[in-house]
Amino acid sequence: MLHRVVRAHWPAFLERAEEAGGLPKFVVREFEQYLECGLPERGLVHLQCGVCGDNLVVAFSWKRRGFCPSCVARRMSDAAAHLVDDVFPEVPTRQWVCALPWRLRVLLGYDRRLCAEVMSAFTGAVSRLLRRRAKAELGLPSVEHAYVGAVTFVQRSDSALRLNVHGHSLFLEGVYVRDASGALAFHALGAPTLEEVEQVARWTRARIEKVRLAHGRTLDGVGDEPAELTHDQPVLASCYAASAADLQLIGDA
């Protein structure tokens, strides 16, 4: 369905975008390669089992990182398998999700440095909670003796393909502490309480406010575009703002 919608509307949308200043080359390339992704006439491999003779035709993909459901799903599966097989130990793990105000999501979509610092604020807050709990429950002399483990993925869109920058973090549900021999031993801490989750939210908000002010950013005017993006890429800025305001750019709505 997504492929049919993009194929039907992309030429007209691109023409309108060109009249207003054009889209960045990487955006045009992403869409055009998506429309050719998985089409047998664009290239394929024909496989045949040497034992049973069974045949399988597999179309080539562009292996894009944007929004192609097939490419993204394959990359997601490969990343998950790598984390399970080679990265995460067999200990309890919890997913933490960082959702943000719409205006801030627009800014993060354009400013990679700001995005990195906002996500760092979130993961730092969760780490702070785990270390404090470890100190209290394990009788540690300092939170510095507790080591946390986590992996964070930044997701740029939601199920409606709107710009929706948010973070998914996988945290070990506990900490590592060195024993008398110096070896690291894992100590499970259990699920956080509602009050502790609220505390993480407060810490995250306070830190993000400091980061935002340090970058000279404002959250006034939800749906407005960042000034520099409006100047450099007016069409992309318009799309960002429409996405944040949940406006329709294609059709009569």
Residues in the chain: 253
- What value does the mean pLDDT take over residues 99-127? 92
| 8-state DSSP, 176 | E
Cα separation of 21 and 235, whole Å?
7
pLDDT at residue 64 in the model: 79
Q: Sign of torsion, CA 3 5 6 7?
A: positive
Q: Give me the pLDDT at residue 214, please.
A: 93
Percent of the chain with pLDDT over 90: 58
Q: What share of the chain is helix, strand, coil (3-state, %, to 5)?
A: 50, 20, 30
pLDDT of residue 224: 47
pLDDT digit string, tens, across residues 141-160: 999 999 999 999 999 888 77
pLDDT of 219 above 80: no
pLDDT score at 248 = 62
How much is the mean pLDDT over the chain?
89
Q: 């995460």: which residue's tokens?
A: 88
Q: Measure the CA–CA gap between 232 and 186, rounded to whole angstroms.
A: 49
Give the global pTM: 0.82
What's the pLDDT band for 188 if we cut at 50, 70, 90?
very high
pLDDT value for 253: 42
The mean pLDDT value for 151-174 works out to 91
Please give the Cα distance from 252 to 250 (Å, whole number): 7
Residue 222 pLDDT > 70: no
Q: Rounded to 5 degrees, what are φ and ψ at 44?
A: -155, 170
User: Largest alpha-carbon pair distance within the chain?
Assistant: 70
What is the mean predicted confidence (pLDDT) over 191-211? Answer: 97
